[in-house]
Amino acid sequence: MTEIRNEFSWSKSRDEVFLTCPHQYYFNYYGYWGGWKTTAPQRTWQIYMLKNLKNRFMWAGDLVHQCIKHTLKNLQRGISVLGVDEIIGISIDRMREEFRSSREKRYRTHPKTCALFEHEYEAGVEDSEWKRMADNVTQCLRNFYGSELFAELRGLSPENWLEIEDFSYFYLNGIKVWAVLDCSFRTGDGITIVDWKTGRTTREDISLQLSCYAMYAQEHWKVKPGEIRLIEYNLLSDQKAEFHITKGEIRDTRSYIKGSVADMQSLLADVKNNIPKDEAFFKKTEDIQIHDRCNFKKVCFP
């Protein structure tokens, strides 16, 4: 079999990790590589296992995203949608099973199963907090299935559906840039792109992410910035905001990505083959709060 290459690419999430802690970035994108192999060194396997941890907030958000994705894929294919109570029941049952699996640390022998940060590090989260996560998932789903946006999506004709969480990308100066759109569809006057949120965001986060989506839409569907409607829908608070990205914002995003790529590649020994410098070049952040939340505490501070 052909050996899988660790290809360099850019994404907003990769940029966030790099800015948070270069050492954490090293583990996330280089140190884990090959950890899935039975012949992997113990430390590499451990980094790979720790990389797959999610905290409870990420876990709940992913469950909501996966549920909505399943529904929208069914709509796209003309398959009828279950009632909201049944959907919520299935989702909560799945949460219970994944919680038990993680608590029993099954992920240590089955890496693709649910692996929660709180269980690996025995964080001692109260039962009431886990219940709050389930309540949040329920609220997010009730808000989504009762929304005007979902009603709009149910009314789409088959030819107007575009992408639903496909692993899409475009190239900028030869670098692959990921743009995974939660949902996109055609409207009478252009393209609509929707991004679901289940937690807090900042205006800067939204601007960068949605600018990347607009750049992808421009290249992939040949639309102008003014023809792209961008919606950020916070499912927990049931708040929706619409944006239009300008040519100036796209220009600024291009410049930002170019600078971010240069910073990341400055820590490569071989840029062409995406081979990093020694781990020691990737400095740890001095922020103690970030240390406490880091998946890789066990290898950062053995």
Alpha-helix runs per DSSP H in 21-164? 22-26, 42-51, 56-76, 84-103, 117-120, 127-145, 148-154
Closest alpha carbon to 74 in 87, 88, 61: 87
pLDDT tens digits for 225-276?
999 999 999 999 999 999 888 999 999 999 999 999 999 999 999 999 999 9
**What global pTM score does this model have?**
0.93
Q: Is the pLDDT of residue 204 over 60?
A: no
Domains of the chain, start order: 24-147+284-300 (no CATH), 153-245 (3.90.320.10)
Closest alpha carbon to 66 in 141, 155, 161: 141
228-234 vs 183-187, strand pairing mode: unpaired
CA distance 155 to 166: 21
Closest alpha carbon to 198 in 132, 263, 251: 132
pLDDT tens digits for 135-185?
999 999 999 999 999 999 999 999 999 999 999 999 999 999 999 999 999
Q: What pLDDT sits at residue 201? A: 59
Cα distances (Å, whole numbers) of residue 250 to 167, 173, 243: 21, 15, 13
pLDDT tens digits for 118-139?
999 999 999 999 999 999 999 9
